[in-house]
Every structure is written in structure tokens, then in C-alpha cells.
A and B are shown apart, each in its own frame.
Chain A
Amino acid sequence: MSSLTIKNLNKIYNPGKNEVHAVKDFNLEIEDGEFVALLGPSGCGKTSTLRMIVGLESITSGSILFDDVEINDFSPEQRNVAMAFESYALYPNFTIFENLAFPLEVKKNSSSEISKKVGEIAEMLQITNILELKPNQLSGGQQQRVSLGRALIRDPAVFILDEVMSHLDAHLKFQMLFELKKIHQTLKKTMIYVTHDQMEALALSDRVAVMANAVLQQFGDRNDLYHRPKNLFVADFIGEPATNFMKAQYSQNSTMKISGDLQFSLTNEISSELERKQMSEAVLGIRPQNLSLDPIEGEDYIQGELVINEFLGERSILEIKSGETSYKVLTDPQKNIKKGDSLKIYYKKENVMIFHPETEDLI
């Protein structure tokens, strides 16, 4: 077990001509035993980051520390990290038993010791009945477990999972997420889970590092990401359905005008901040979950016309139009309203997020 510290990490591919700056000034501190997700869209640099952590990629500049020991120049073996691959990377010519025993063989464990450890891991992952099979005889979920098992069996300092759920179907994924969480709670190991799926990241991890365009955008727990997103990207990326964003003008009486009659009231803190910065234009964001059809005592409301009622069984997503602006509202299932109905939509002032129009940072 170790804590993991990353300081000013940079990765540049092909320095000079056609250079690609894949990771820019990346800083992160992960505590011992913590489960952290590295979340970001494809090509944001998360895989490069983790390959530098495990030692499969050289570090252009910056440093990586395990328990305050710099490991930049250590080989993957010396770092004692385990990794489960997106593609599972099971050795096709070996049986499942041999696959699981592979990391132990090199450490010169006795064969009885190996059998014992393989047995324990197989039991934990419920794969005891397939130990004699070859990887290509297994289903995706079983291969997934074996690949987790091969990583777990070594008792590594840091455990890295690279998009390990992306090839599983939704049902199996849900089940594996649950089991992975259980495994983490039992082993209490430092785990880094790399994914592009916010649902997986939020469901599993203690804290989430959101990455985009080679830069770490925000590192925090789900509450931070959800209610205090650092910038427009995080607000947009986290949350389903996506946050409503609107261009807005600030008017003196603590309100943001969108267009026509549509306007939102602001809390005193935000409006004084806007006044202090003398900002007249901004981007307003509000989550569909924070808009409601039920009247909230003493709260403000906006008015609009229903365009689409997307009924999803246990909830409805409504698309509402006020003047030229349309936005989404997530509500309990709505059966009795139809297209063209005029609706009052309530919100709380403190749920209105205001972003700087150029830097896109939260105000």
C-alpha cells in the first residue's frame, strides 16, 4: 500500500516536429488506500498519465512519488504496480491457472504457495471452476475477472484499472462495479480507475480527477463535482442529462437576463461578485435536476412552453422553450402534460451557476 503523489507531470510525444503535449502540468495527491477515478473524454491524456505511473511510458518532466519516494527511473517491476488492461491482456496460450500464477512464478514462489494463492484469488472472484480453461473459452465477464485476479494476486502497492468495464454489457457492468467496490473495501488498496464513463467513476471512487485537453480540470468528490464544478467543462461533463447552459446578461437587481422575459435571480454572493468584477455578460448553467414543476415555497420560477415530453418510465425529461431559449427539466414521470402546455418551472437561487464567458471558470 502506498500513497501516490504526482508533481508537475508532463508528457510530450515527438518533441520538435509534430509534437503532441499529451499531459500538461499534472498535479495529484492520492492517499493511501483511496479509490480514485481518472475521468475524461477519449484522447484527454488519461491513458498517457497512467502509463507513466506504471512505467510503460517515459516521463518528459515532473515526478511521480510512491510514499514520498520518487519512482521516475524505476522499472515497472520495481514500482510494484499492477494493472488490469482494457483488453484484459490474458496470455492466450496459458490456462487461467497459469495466467493467475504468472506474476508469482517470476518471484520464485514455491508451487504449493502458488496453488494456495491462486485458489484464494479464484475463490474471491468466483472463477474456481474455470481454472483449467484457456482464455478464449471464457465469456467477457470471466476474462474480466481473471484479468483483475492476475493484478490482485501480486499484492501491489498501487492498483490501476484501465477502462476495464468498457467491453462489458450494461447488466454485467453494474454487477462488476458492485464487486469491484467490495474488493476495494476488503483489500483497502490504493486504486486508480481510468474511465470515460462518469457513471462508473462516480459510482466507484472516493474522489474523481476530471481531465480534458491534457489538463487536470478538477479533483474532488462527487459532491464537489456536482455542486461546485470548477469550470464549464466539468459542469457539462458530469451529470446526466447534461447541464443547461445559456448566454446571459447581468442586470443590476441581482438577476441574469437570458432573452425576452426569461431571467434567473441570483444569490447575493454571486451578484456582488459579478458587480465587483464588473461583468455584464456570463454563461449561466443550471442542472435539469434542479428545475422542478412542483412549487417550492418562496422560490423563484420561470415560465415556458413544453416542446418534448420524453417519458423514461421512472422519470421524464422535458424540453421547454421560453422565447428563443430551450432547456431541459428532469422530473418525476409526467403523463398529463402535452406539447404546447405553458408551465411554471421552479428553481433555487443557489443552484444557479455562473461561468466566466472567456475563462469558463465558475464564479
Chain B
Amino acid sequence: MNKNNLILYIGILIFGLAAPYIFPAFKVQLSILCILIVLAITWNIQGGEMGYNTFGNILFYGLGMYLCASVQVGMFFPLAEWTESGGEKTFVHTPAQFFQGMAAGLVVAAIVPTIVAGLIGYAILGLRGHYFAICTLGLGVAAGEISGGIEIIGAGQGFTTPPFPNVGSLEARGEFFYFLSFLVLVLTFIAVKAIYTTRFKLILNAIRDNEDKAEAMGIETMKYKIIGWMISAFFCGLAGGIMGGLVGYIDSTDVAFDGREMGVFMVLMAILGGKGTLWGPVIGATVFHIFKEGFWTFFLGWQYVALGVLIVVIVIYFPEGIMGWLREKYPEKFGEVVDEADRKAQVEIK
């Protein structure tokens, strides 16, 4: 079993490294897929394991996006003039400046959202159930509306991120962003998998199942909830920073704090794959991204209508997701002991 798993992981790793050369036309799509998987996995820490259905992880994603781009520009050029000129040709990053700025920007984009999550966590995570859901929804939209009014980061007209420097090869931009996002995906997966083997995951599950009882058993639930949120914020910030560079243009409500799209996508992907499983969000995000791109191509113009229908259908008919369906069908594969006679008896009753 263990050896099989190792072969599986190595296979996926090799496939991931080779993917941009196998599908050279889909580099951007593959990078977006990596980002989506990161978002789904981190949402699952709250929504799946902890039972706190958040719409607010988009806050950290958008924050990371703005911070990464601001640092990347602000390290070498005056930020206010950059946004005013709309990223015109007067300021050009040399390759060294671009990569230094990106590295520093990603560090800031990971750390600041983590701190923000820690600071607001005590206030927000004390809410329960639907109050938490609506509060985080409000938080995401408020962040979008407020950042749309701040002049230095472009206000309503948007923020152009530094264009990729000319390093000789035309393929370099796609490969750089793909490998960056794949690296973040691998890091996220390893970190989350490591967390899920510890007592921390059991505590999160205890909070999901009955928070008051967990507290009565002597677990400081608030501490663990905040740590869980900070882990999510760290990786969401990184993902946002990369996505900003990949898209090349940041708008407050349509790209960064896009609660209507990205904020719902991460919830939907995790639910489609199966909440509360390690592989569920990965599968869900992959299936969702393929479906979405299909919709976007064939139903051009009607994509959001299709998205609305998709949300309703998934939520009503597949609340357990793909992993939940597999688990019901093949319980042995998930380490559940099944009594054969019992199962036969169940079939006969039906």
C-alpha cells in the first residue's frame, strides 16, 4: 500500500514537471489549475475539516495579489506614478529587478495575510454557522469595495503588474509562472498532508463535530481555529501573488477580491471533490476547471448562467462530492471494514 502510494506521488510529480512540455499550448491554463487546487485545498481546512464554511479566504488571496504587485513595483519605482501611468513604458523592470521584486513580493504576500488572519481571527472565528458564512462574505466584498476606492493601488481603473522581462525565449513567461505555481501547489500539498497526520487535524475535526464538547475536553479551540486560518491565509496569499503576475492586471472587484467568482469557485471545487478529504479538493478542482473551460468555450456569453445552474445542481445533488460517492460505492478502499453478509442483506431490503 505504502509503496503504491509512493509510486503514485512520484508519477504525479513527474507528470506535473513534464506537463508544460506535453501540452505547450495550455501552460496558462495549467498554472491556473495549480492555483485553483491550492485554493480548494486551503478552503478545505476551514470548510471541510473545521466545519467553518468561509467565503472570506478570497480576502487573503486578493491581499496577496495587491501586496505582491505593489512590492514588485515599489521596490524600484514610485508606486503612485506607476499606477497613474497605467504601467506605461516609462518604467521597465530589468530581468534581475523583476525576479528580485517577485521573490520579495511573494514573501510579503505570504506573511502579511497570515498576520491579518491572526489579527481578525479572534473576532471573526468566534461566530458560528451561518453568521460566520455571511460575515466572511461581507468581509470579502467590503475589501473589494474599499480597495476600489484607494488611489495608490489604482482605485477603480486597476493596477497593471510589471510585464515579464525579455530573457531571450518566448516560452519563458509561461514556464516561469507554471513552475512557480506548481511549486506552491506541491508545497501546499506536502504541508497539508503533514498537518493531516498530526493531532491538529483531530482537533479540527473535533471542532467540526461538536465545538462546545471539544472546549469542555480542555482543547483551546480558538487557538487551533486561528492557526488553521493562518495556514490557509499563508498559501492563499502566495497563490494570489502568483495569479496577479500571471493575469498581468489587477482589478479590485473582478480579479482580486472576486467573491462572485473565485470566492465561490473554491467552495464549489472542494464540495464537488468531497469536503473533509485530502484528495477531494484536488480532484474537484481538476474536474471543475475542465468543465469550466468547456463551458467558457461552448457557451460563450452564457457562462455565468451555466455557473449559477452548476452551483445549484452540485449543491443539491452532490453535497457529498466525488470522494463521498466513491466512499459509498467502494468502502473497502477507504479502510472501512464491511461485513459481506450485512451488505447483501441491505441489497435484499432494497
A and B physically associate? no
Q: What residues make up the interface of A, taking CB atoms closer than 8 Å to B?
A: none
- B residues adjacent to A (C-beta < 8 A): none
